[in-house]
Structure 1
Amino acid sequence: MKILHIDSSIMGGNSISRQLSKAIVERIEADHDEFETIYHDLASDPVRHLSGELFAAQASAPEHRTADQQRDIDHGAKMLNDFLASDIVVIGAPMYNFSVPSQLKAWIDRIAVAGKTFRYTEKGPEGLAGGKKVVIVSSRGGFYGPDTPAAPLDHQEPYLRAVFGFLGITDIEYIRAEGVAMGPDQRQSALDGAMNTIASQCEKAKANRQAVA
């Protein structure tokens, strides 16, 4: 079992998404005798945003690249390879200004690579990264569910669902903590509710594995 754990919150120890993504990974690890976990903190070790300079460097021979360009290329390649090698991807994805953190978007730009995780065919695009499970920890300051007035402003979860679906991943699970900016009581209630969801989902997955075994 190979687990890829991604955090993107800039809030450090005060981050709800970090607390929840850690809890999920610990649960998964506890349920498997053999596992390897790779962790990337996109806030403390960010992936650079795509640039024309990077595209030009990638198209050039290695001897024509600067050391800085080569480090950037190598960093992006590691992010892609870690993603491709994983069985389960756990992503801490807080909502920032109605969408995902720019750090997370930069990581997505490095894993959405034609010929690696998707390809274009005569019948349209085809995802090449299927077979994985993606667990997304979605934390939001307000309420953006489909039955709320703010639902049209949600460009976070629909975007992530579209991206990973485009890459061929259909097994996507959300753990939500909403309204975390609406007072300490609601913050704690959202955290407790998400933790309970994690516990119940992990127990359900464990029971399903035992039934199959």
Structure 2
Amino acid sequence: MSQTSQQRPPREKRAPRREEEQPWVPRTELGKKVAAGVITSMDEIYANGLRIQEAGIIKKLLPDLRTEVIDVGMVQTMTPNGQRTKFKAMVAAGNENGYLGIGQGKSKQMRVAIEKATTNAYLNVSPVKLGCGSWECRCDQSHSVPFKVRGKGGSVVVEIVPAPRGLGLVAGGKIRNLLKLAGLKDAWTTAKGSTATMNSTSKAVLECLRQTFSQG
């Protein structure tokens, strides 16, 4: 006599747990002014030369900022008690409209390292001046850099040249992602040195973009 096997109902997939973000409690004088609505834009902070010491300030004034993990790895060191391993992470934060920051973090846990890198990326957010510096285009839209800029980080040298509208970002994958986060749509780039080292490459790119304000 054959026994009919009863099919079990498929298990429902559980949604991944999302840790609730703790509400921001400002601790600095600048943070309290931002939370109270006294300061409502990043331009006011830069115009007065104020120092940002809380990531919550950036999140409040730039709610459209998004983060992207651009590099992860491990650091192993020898101690009297044996080998110790730590994780390191690098995160970029940008709103694709004129702001970019890059931060690093280390911890025994990868998740904590990414959280530290994210916080540092917020604190390092800098304005990027967009424009059209291409003689082939000469439009009035902010799709590229206003002029050629050059930045150095370690052994890496990066140069960003204005490009006409519609060309796109002529750059390597990692550099292209950073430029896109900053808000650039069209640009030529050249990179020399050990570009595989993301630490140096990201510093060179960030220095380039900061020069759009310092030189402009």
Same fold at TM > 0.5: no
TM-score relative to the length of structure 1: 0.23
Structure of greater Rg:
2
Higher relative contact order (CA 8 A, sep 6+): 1
More strand by percentage: 2
More helix by percentage: 1
TM-score relative to the length of structure 2: 0.23
